[in-house]
Structure 1
Amino acid sequence: MARFLKKNDMTAGKPPGSLIFIGQQKTDEPSLRIIDYDEETLRDEVVPEAAALSPCLGSKTTSWLNLDGLHVPEVMERVGQAFSISPLILEDIVNTGHRPKMDEYPDMLFITLKMLSINPTHDRIISEQLSCVLTGRCLITFQEQPGDVFEPVRDRIRHQSGRLRRRGPDYLLYALLDCVFENYLKVIEIMGERIEAFDEEVLDDPSPELLEEINLYRREMAFVRRAVRPAREIALKLARTESELVAEEITPYLRDLTDMAEQTTEAVETYREMLNDHLNSYNMAMANRLNDVMKFLTIFATIFIPLSFLAGVYGMNFEFMPELKLRHGYFVLLGIMGAVVAAMLFYFKKRKWI
């Protein structure tokens, strides 16, 4: 399946709001987990049915519902019905190739973006779509598979550390987005260490394997850029939102999030420029190497031109040639050839051609 654009053939001709999963199934069964908390109480459990989530709507506590697995339409419909989520939002959620964006509604805030990770060999970026729906006292997150970068947030909720347990779901949304952007920086940093190491290798050993690796990192950085740039737009839009679902008290935190988004975008652009510079340096190094080879071959051929001339002259089969009867003519000719070679090398050296 294409990484930059996923086919939407299955949705062709379907009415808006059709729940058709687009992407690669990454888990067998969907899993619903709810974390309900305030300053004094905490409930953290996996619930079997979406119907059990309805009491969260009228609760004064903060509720965080997370759904892992987007490929079962019935589960998506039940969650949507429980929280009155528009079918158009659900349609965007199950389309894992959707461009990151943020939509505001009178009673709801919808955000979808990409979470990034890097494989153990540090040469390929793995992407997973994260969708967030903020409504009332609830934050609902949708992920493609179990496992994410939010464990520090869960630990803070469990241990009552900081202000998270005293704030509402809007602050929880900020905390999750903060984890996503911090992970962006972590992935870029890991890639950046290798990209910066290309500097010396391009000059010392511009091998075909190095060129292949540079092109690989160029593709991966383009993939990261495709996720990071619209995520930055989301952070900027969220910081300027006038939605009643986002309290004014967390505005400073959202501005800090935009700073991190700007830093992430700048890091991506910096490393993309470095990779382009590495590619240009590689091409220049290979051109210089080719020039050195051609210069050597040219000098070698130039030296042998007069030697070939002398050998050709005395290799002719004329009977009456004055020098043919010389007792030491062979050694004299070799001496002349040696003198010609020495004179040419001296001239090339003086002109700094070698």
Structure 2
Amino acid sequence: MITTTVYNSEKGLFSISGDTLTKWDYENQDIVWTDIHDVTSEETSRLLKDTFQFHPLAIEDSYKYIRDHAVHHPKIDDFEKYLFIVFNGIQADESGKKYSIFSLSCFLGKNFLVTIHNEKGENTISKNIKNYISESAFKKGPDFILNLILDEIVDRYYPVLDHIEAEIDTVESRIFKEMPSNRNLLSILNLKKELIKLRRISSYQKEILYKLSRRETDLISLEESVYYRNVYDHLVRVADTAESYRDYVSGILDSYLSVVNNKMNEVMKFLTIIATIMLPLTLITGIFGMNFHTIPFLQSEFGFYISIILMIIVATVMLGWFRYKKWL
């Protein structure tokens, strides 16, 4: 689906179809935002190649990852008349339990913004910022529209982090209350894996927002650089939170392994005591089981009971000794 919104100082804010856009004039006074959601049609190709005349390498990058539903390494390229930005967003449910990463490619010019993204299902970007899209927003320029989009994307990280925090608390309490199990270990490893992924994505994208907030290009106005700095601060907080959670989960993993080792040591201790007690009992039964004619009590009717009593006495003495030495 392709949506094009135009702001004209005389006509105001209105939508047009992509077919009505011809070769783009970079000095045009109108402000245009073209949003392309999961589309690889001829119309998309015409808009990118013929209408806006973007660089083939930038088009290839944006197209490849949209088509394959893949996550692109975040990047920002300056083509003088426009910026090409690749950002990764999160598409999550309200609880933050289930989420997926999608790729957002942006072409930002003086008077236009083209966004291409590949969320599965609905167009979450248009849905989440539609309340902010107004004439006043377009008057501030396409850099302000892009700021709204990036701010909304970064804010979507927080529900996921909140859910992960709740999962960490649950797993932490569970490993000390339950017997060690593969379920607990898998939960810890999955949490660590998710946090590493979030940390990696957010860390890579900090550089992009840092450059935008520092106005390393004239396409970002001085007024809007403040807003980009705010989004940058949010992303730094996301990255730092993911990093601290990852360290915490690593500590939980160490605690879990310590619990497992303690349980194993207790089992080995118990088995060692049993084996130690059985050793003299085995010796006694071995002696009485030797094939000689002059073994004491061999012909006695109480021989069996005497051997049993002897073994009980030996086992009792050994248990008493273990308790005295506080090995039990």
Q: Taking structure 1 as reference, are residues 34 and 205 closer, same or farther at Cα in structure 2, changes over 3 Å only?
A: farther
The answer to whether the aligner puts 1:36 opposite 2:6 as a matched pair is: yes
Gaps of 5+ in 1: 1-30
Give the letter for the 1:239 counterpart: S
The answer to whether the aligner puts 1:135 opposite 2:106 as a matched pair is: no
- Match in the other structure for 2:196: 222
**297-306 or 139-148: which moved more?**
139-148
1:324 shift after superposition: 4.0
Q: Is the 8 A contact 2:97 2:160 kept in 1?
A: no
- Match in the other structure for 2:150: 177
Q: Aligned match of 2:21 in 45, 49, 52?
A: 52
Q: Taking structure 1 as reference, are residues 282 and 68 closer, same or farther at Cα in structure 2, changes over 3 Å only?
A: same
**132-141 or 306-315: which moved more?**
306-315
Gaps of 5+ in 2: 66-70
Matched residues in 2 for 1:207 and 1:236: separation? 44
What do residues 31-84 of structure 1 show as CA deviations (whole Å, max 9, x unaligned)?
Answer: 210122479832145x252x4365786654532110123534663243332223
Q: Is the 8 A contact 2:88 2:102 kept in 1?
A: yes
1:146-157 map, 5 Å: 146-157=122-133
1:177 shift after superposition: 0.6
User: Is the partner of 2:57 in helix, strand or coil?
Assistant: helix
Give the letter for the 2:321 counterpart: Y
Q: Is the 8 A contact 1:125 1:224 kept in 2?
A: no
Q: Is the 8 A contact 2:215 2:222 kept in 1?
A: no
User: Is the partner of 1:66 in helix, strand or coil?
Assistant: strand
User: Is the partner of 1:85 in helix, strand or coil?
Assistant: coil
Give the letter for the 1:181 counterpart: V
Give the letter for the 1:35 counterpart: T
Matched residues in 2 for 1:225 and 1:79: separation? 32
Q: Is the 8 A contact 1:124 1:220 kept in 2?
A: no
Q: Is the 8 A contact 2:82 2:109 kept in 1?
A: yes
Q: TM-score, normalised by structure 2?
A: 0.85
1:323-338 map, 5 Å: 323-324=297-298, 328-338=302-312
- Match in the other structure for 2:141: 168
User: Is the partner of 1:140 in helix, strand or coil?
Assistant: strand
**87-96 or 274-283: which moved more?**
274-283
The answer to whether the aligner puts 1:63 opposite 2:29 as a matched pair is: no
Matched residues in 2 for 1:105 and 1:127: separation? 27
Size of the aligned set, in residue pairs, is 319
Identity %: 27
User: Is the partner of 2:124 in helix, strand or coil?
Assistant: coil
Q: Is the 8 A contact 1:125 1:220 kept in 2?
A: no
Q: TM-score, normalised by structure 1?
A: 0.79
1:285 shift after superposition: 2.4
Matched residues in 2 for 1:63 and 1:346: separation? 88
User: Is the partner of 1:95 in helix, strand or coil?
Assistant: helix
Matched residues in 2 for 1:119 and 1:213: separation? 20
1:250-329 map, 5 Å: 250-324=224-298, 328-329=302-303
Tell me how large the CA RMSD over aligned residues is.
2.9
What do residues 118-141 of structure 1 show as CA deviations (whole Å, max 9, x unaligned)?
Answer: 479977652211011111221111
What do residues 232-290 of structure 1 show as CA deviations (whole Å, max 9, x unaligned)?
Answer: 11111111123222111122222211111111111221222233333333333222222
1:115 shift after superposition: 1.4
Matched residues in 1 for 2:288 and 2:237: separation? 76
- Match in the other structure for 2:68: none
- Match in the other structure for 1:28: none
User: Is the partner of 2:156 in helix, strand or coil?
Assistant: helix
**207-216 or 127-136: which moved more?**
207-216
What do residues 313-333 of structure 1 show as CA deviations (whole Å, max 9, x unaligned)?
Answer: 223343334444656454443
Give the letter for the 2:124 counterpart: D
Q: Is the 8 A contact 2:81 2:110 kept in 1?
A: yes
User: Is the partner of 2:129 in helix, strand or coil?
Assistant: helix
Q: Which has the higher contact order (CA 8 A, sep 6+)?
A: 1
Q: Taking structure 1 as reference, are residues 270 and 53 closer, same or farther at Cα in structure 2, changes over 3 Å only?
A: farther
- Match in the other structure for 1:84: 53
Q: Is the 8 A contact 1:36 1:63 kept in 2?
A: yes
